[in-house]
Chains A and B, each alone.
Chain A
Amino acid sequence: MSDNLTMKKEERFALILGILLSIILITSLIIIFKDNFNDKSLSRTACIYSDGKLVKEIPLNSQTPDMTFTIESKYGSNTITVKEGAIAVTDADCANKICVKEGFISNSRLPITCLPNRLIITIKTKDDSALDAVTY
């Protein structure tokens, strides 16, 4: 039996790994919950990437007209809908349809991703509040 005072080398290694895992876990959780994308002073743009290339940029705000269009690539097609300042993939020919299940996003840090069709929609934000402060 190992002495309580002298920790075995293995146990120390396990402890270090355990601490490392906890740190990664806690940091990740902090990043997930400290999502400041709800800030109203930010202007948002949806960027649609197909196969690594930017194919469309749509500003997302209350003035954005509703629209539906289809992005085609050699991997497949996705139907994208913009409605009331939010964007979603509403139809796709991929197998798992995770992109459709992700629903409408307007202020999310997470992009909509369709891996089978190599499609990614990210929300880019720009801080307008700084400018507003200067131009009063």
Chain B
Amino acid sequence: MKTKKLTILALFTALAFVIHYLESMLPTLIPIPGIKPGLANIITLILLYYYGFKDSALVLITRILLVSLLFGQFLSFSYSLAGGVLCLIAEWLLLKALNKRFIPIVSALGGLTHNMAQLAVAFALTKSKGVFSYLPYLAVSGIITGAVIGLIITFLAPHLTVLLTDGQTYPKQDE
């Protein structure tokens, strides 16, 4: 791993960690479990976009481990990990098939996957069919927050390209 990449991955892990933590301190606006902005996924998607699956997964898992170890309980760990990893896999597959112009669509589907995975974990833990009444709410929130994150990345992309790739316009052009 090149020094620059190592530094950037460490920096982004710290950034994702702080975003995740600050978000957990925000008051709950909608009292439905599972509905939150999920802004730390911006970092996951940026790294996926520029560096690929392995580096993004590394940062994602480190972030979730850190947050759960320092502030959370085992419960938040299982939810975050299931949601985060499935979301990452979905976005990875979609990014392979889609042009980078379609980041908001990729991100919206990722958000949807994230929430559906969390719902599955909730069902596994509570063993109650009652949790499925949250499905439409979680679907709407996943799609909307995902799309917003995708738009944020679209606007950030020109600046990030300079930072992350020594100024080449399309870093993964050779693929």
Q: Which residues of A contact B (CB under 8 A)?
A: 10-11, 13-14, 17-18, 21, 24-25, 27-29, 31-32, 49, 51-52, 95-96, 98, 101-103, 109-111, 113, 115-116, 118, 120, 122
Q: Are B133 and A109 in contact (CB under 8 A)?
A: yes
List CB contacts (< 8 Å) of B87-131 with chain A.
94, 97-99, 102, 105, 108-109, 112, 122, 125-128, 130-131
- Cα distance, A13 to B98, chains bound together (Å): 8
Q: Mark B40-81, 1 if CB is under 8 A from A, else 0.
A: 000000000000000000000000000000000101000000
**Which one, A102, A109, A120, contacts B126 given CB within 8 A?**
A120
- Given A10-B99, A49-B128, A116-B73, verify A98-B137 contact (CB < 8 Å): no
- Cα distance, A11 to B98, chains bound together (Å): 8
Q: Are A10 and B126 in contact (CB under 8 A)?
A: no
Instruction: List chain A residues, Cβ under 8 A from B33.
Output: 98, 113, 115
Closest to B141 in A: A28
Instruction: List chain B residues, Cβ under 8 A from A14.
Output: 98-99, 102, 105
Q: Are A120 and B140 in contact (CB under 8 A)?
A: no
Least Cβ–Cβ distance between A23 and chain B, in angstroms: 11
Least Cβ–Cβ distance between A124 and chain B, in angstroms: 10
Most B CB within 10 A of own CB, among A24, A95, A109, A113:
A113
Chain B contact patch, size range: 20 to 34
**Which one, A10, A25, A110, A118, contacts B125 given CB within 8 A?**
A118
- Cα distance, A111 to B33, chains bound together (Å): 11
Instruction: List chain B residues, Cβ under 8 A from A116.
Output: 73, 75
Instruction: List chain B residues, Cβ under 8 A from A113.
Output: 33, 122, 126, 130-131, 134
Least Cβ–Cβ distance between A29 and chain B, in angstroms: 6
Least Cβ–Cβ distance between B108 and chain A, in angstroms: 6
Q: Are A111 and B75 in contact (CB under 8 A)?
A: no
B143 within 8 A of A: yes
Least Cβ–Cβ distance between B15 and chain A, in angstroms: 24
Instruction: List chain B residues, Cβ under 8 A from A18.
Output: 105
- Given A14-B105, A120-B126, verify A98-B112 contact (CB < 8 Å): no
Most A CB within 10 A of own CB, among B33, B112, B136, B139:
B136
Instruction: List chain A residues, Cβ under 8 A from B97.
Output: 10, 13
Closest to B94 in A: A17
Closest to B121 in A: A115
A-B CB contact pairs (8 Å), 20 listed: A10-B97, A10-B102, A13-B97, A14-B102, A24-B112, A25-B139, A32-B140, A49-B130, A52-B127, A52-B128, A98-B31, A98-B33, A101-B28, A102-B32, A109-B133, A113-B33, A113-B134, A115-B75, A118-B125, A120-B126
Q: Knowing that A27-B136, A113-B122 touch, tell me 17 more A-B residue pairs with CB under 8 angstroms.
A: A10-B97, A10-B99, A18-B105, A21-B108, A21-B109, A25-B144, A29-B136, A32-B136, A32-B137, A32-B140, A49-B126, A98-B33, A102-B31, A103-B31, A113-B134, A116-B75, A122-B130
